[in-house]
Amino acid sequence: MKANIYEAKTNLSRLIQAALNGEEVIIANRGKPLVRLVVHPDARRSRRLDGAAGDIEISSDFDAPIEDLEEYTR
């Protein structure tokens, strides 16, 4: 994505969101690239392995044989 300085001032939040979404954002003056908007490493969300802990329950018989399964496999 490329934006001139005036457009960047007017739409800064949109350009920041585009950068956060992984798009390359270049700010230009008279069509010549000046700067690249990049996401600061501290702003990236860290991924947690236990993010869904407590939200998911698995029944104690989740791996028990299904009695009427043969009906569906014929």
Q: pLDDT tens digit string along 52-63? A: 778 888 889 888
Chain centroid to CA 31: 30
pLDDT tier for residue 23 given thresholds of 50, 70 and 90? very high
Backbone torsion region of residue 59, taken as left when φ is above 0, otherwise alpha when ψ lies between -120 and 50, otherwise beta: beta
Please give the residue range of the domain that contains residue 33.
1-39
Measure the CA–CA gap between 74 and 71, rounded to whole angstroms. Answer: 6
- Identify the three-state secondary structure at position 66: coil
In-domain check, residue 54 = no
Task: Tell me how many domains the chain contains.
Answer: 1
In-domain check, residue 34 = yes
- The CATH number assigned to the domain holding 13 equals 3.40.1620.10
In-domain check, residue 48 = no
In-domain check, residue 32 = yes
Q: Which helix (H) or strand (E) holds 37?
A: strand 32-37
- Provide the whole-model pTM: 0.57
In-domain check, residue 62 = no
